[in-house]
Amino acid sequence: MNYRETYEKWLKDFRDDPDTVNELLSIADDEKEIEDRFYTELSFGTAGLRGVIGAGTNRMNVYNVRRATAALAQYILKQPGQAERGVAIAYDSRRYSDVFAKQAALTLCKRGVKAFLFDALRPVPELSFTVRHLNCVAGIVITASHNPAQYNGYKVYWEDGGQMPPERADQILDLIHQTDYLDALPMDEAEAREKGLLTVIGKEVDDAYIACVKKLSISPELIREMGDEIKIVYTPLHGSGNVPVRRMLREIGFSKVYVVPEQELPNPDFPTVRVPNPEDPAALSMALELQKKLDADVVFGTDPDCDRVGIAVLDGEGKVHGLTGNQIGCLLLNYILVRRGEKGTLPQNAAAVKSIVSTEMARAIAEHHGCAMVDVLTGFKFIAEKIEQFEQTGEHTFVFGFEESCGYLSGRDVRDKDGVNASMLIAETAAWYKKQGKTLYDGLMDLYEKYGYYDAKVASFALAGKDGLLKMGHLMQALRDDPPADFAGVKVLAVRDYEAGSRKGVDGSVTPLEQPKSNVLYYELEDGGWICVRPSGTEPKVKLYVNAVTDAADKTQALLDRLAGAAVALLESKEN
């Protein structure tokens, strides 16, 4: 069936839904728009569904939510005794998030699977916590993370509280393809409640989650001393972090927390930002204005689903610095290891976990404090898997995990990046440095002086045209067939091919990689830097991660520019 036939079928199948029909009729003369909405279906991967809101197979709408949920229910029912455990469901502040969440719950109920639905918006990390806290078999959260306002999404979590692993996601995708939209019907809400299949959850779970976050405080005595001294400006960027982050900071003892009033309340249009992404310094511009008025010590913001945190700080001359995810991760890791070492609470088998594209500065910090550093593929679900593995084997005790994309976690009751947990750690770290007469920026400079000046660049290399995905495959194969000997004169010491599962050194040595197979190439350079090439899983582009380290900031930046230029030139030469 081609896209035009699918469009006509939707007009017929959903004729009793006037909103959908009217929306589709409004594009009847726009062939390009019809094609875009119906030429494919939304991809379902380990991050679930994500797309622009609207009618169509390639859009986020109630029918795609029901269909995915019906497939999830079918998958759960194939495993004896799991339906009774139920599925926890949360949602953030995006358009239709509450509608999609309730429809997902009632679609589960229709198939005899219990649903535990939050009574209002909640952050992603609380959903991860809830799956474990209520012993659910799975979890669903309706969110598009930090995407623009026209997007929404649907994430699935498994019983460990981590995002659905690839092998399970593939099986659910097969079931989605076998499910007709018209068969994915929900149960009536009153019937679901009467049969005990739908349970609304709220305060009791909030209390348990906040209690777990507060237990992760490293230095309660420091907060008692400095909690009234430090000024914090926080913005939830119109999302789900407003209530839990403020509650947590208040209850552990930070009294001077100021929220950006224009960005305080949930708003699905995110009217004050281009995109609600705390990685983007522009998203914190209003918070920085408030910081200047209050002379606040630190500014931080969380994205709509409150799993990522971004920071901006002032240096001694009043200049604003937006910290990268790598810099924040190193500051928090150093604080945890130093303070726990001083207090005697750092386990002898302590381990931190980071993604392979996150800074190697974190390894230098960890090893200095006798902490193992473990690398995983990009995606916090792989950090969650390591936490589970450590608990099962006893080989290590997890103390911190992070990704360069502003995701952090220091506990084990949540198995995804946690903006509430990270906000607490940021506030504590800022208080620790203030007690020393320093800012977070000063603390970062201290780390550079001690471990070297590490810096990174991330770029996207787009492959244009209809054959973009095919070109991407050819490009990666060309890099494998003819690997570079150097980048801008800096020799390649070894190539990690995560798809082949091996590391090949220039000396001819070949060693296996521990990580799962993935279409990623990683070049170890002689100066301690590295370059990673990672294709997108959903669109025709390749992400380039370039990292460098020297003994001075200007030298590192110059080297970084050279390496990035050489890497882009290499990709351009291989594109055709």
**pLDDT tens figures, 551-570:** 999 999 999 999 999 999 99
CA-to-CA distance for 263 and 270, rounded, in angstroms?
Answer: 8
Mean pLDDT of 409-421: 97
Instruction: Kindly report, residue by residue over 344-395, the tens digit of the pLDDT.
Output: 999 999 999 999 999 999 999 999 999 999 999 999 999 999 999 999 999 9
**pLDDT band at residue 540, thresholds of 50, 70 and 90?**
confident
Please give the pLDDT value at position 466.
59
342, two tokens: 């001083």
More confident residue, 314 or 101: 101
Instruction: Kindly report, residue by residue over 475-510, the tens digit of the pLDDT.
Output: 999 999 999 999 999 999 999 999 999 999 999 999
Q: Which residues contact 16 (CB under 8 A, 6 or more apart)?
A: none
Asked whether the predicted pLDDT for residue 290 surpasses 90, the reply is yes
CA-to-CA distance for 132 and 162, rounded, in angstroms?
Answer: 10
CA-to-CA distance for 346 and 312, rounded, in angstroms?
Answer: 29
Please give the pLDDT value at position 388.
96
Instruction: Kindly report, residue by residue over 223-280, the tens digit of the pLDDT.
Output: 999 999 999 999 999 999 999 999 999 999 999 999 999 999 999 999 999 999 999 8
Block residue for tokens 């997007």? 151
Backbone angles phi, psi at 74, to 5 degrees: -60, -40
552, two tokens: 């001075």
Asked if 498 contacts 520 with a C-beta cutoff of 8 angstroms, the reply is yes
Asked whether the predicted pLDDT for residue 537 surpasses 80, the reply is no
Question: At what angle are helices 419-435 and 124-133 packed, to 10 degrees?
Answer: 110
From 93, 97, 145, 240, the catalytic residue: 145
Asked if 91 contacts 97 with a C-beta cutoff of 8 angstroms, the reply is yes
- Burial label for 274, CB within 10 Å (0-12, 13-18, 19+), is exposed
CA-to-CA distance for 431 and 229, rounded, in angstroms?
Answer: 8
Give all domains of the chain, ordered by start, each with its CATH number: 40-201 (3.40.120.10), 210-451 (3.40.120.10), 453-575 (3.30.310.50)
If phi over 0 gives left and psi between -120 and 50 gives alpha, with beta otherwise, what is residue 282?
A: alpha
Q: Which residues contact 63 (CB under 8 A, 6 or more apart)?
A: 14, 20, 181, 184
Mean pLDDT of 453-465: 86
**pLDDT band at residue 544, thresholds of 50, 70 and 90?**
very high
Asked whether the predicted pLDDT for residue 541 surpasses 80, the reply is yes
Is 145 a known active-site residue?
yes
CA-to-CA distance for 108 and 82, rounded, in angstroms?
Answer: 12
Please give the pLDDT value at position 315.
84
* Local structure of 437: helix, strand or coil: coil
Please give the pLDDT value at position 119.
98
Please give the pLDDT value at position 489.
96
Kindly report the pTM of this predicted structure.
0.95
Instruction: Kindly report, residue by residue over 106-147, the tens digit of the pLDDT.
Output: 999 999 999 999 999 999 999 999 999 999 999 999 999 999
**pLDDT band at residue 465, thresholds of 50, 70 and 90?**
low
Widest Cα–Cα separation across the chain: 71
Q: Which of 427, 203, 409, 213 is CA-nearest to residue 313? A: 427
Asked if 79 contacts 254 with a C-beta cutoff of 8 angstroms, the reply is no
What average pLDDT is seen over the chain? Answer: 95
Listed in sequence order, the DSSP H helices in 78-202 are 97-110, 124-133, 166-177, 189-194
Please give the pLDDT value at position 576.
66
CB atoms within 10 A of CB 115: 27
More confident residue, 281 or 242: 242
Backbone angles phi, psi at 404, to 5 degrees: -65, -15
Asked if 45 contacts 537 with a C-beta cutoff of 8 angstroms, the reply is yes
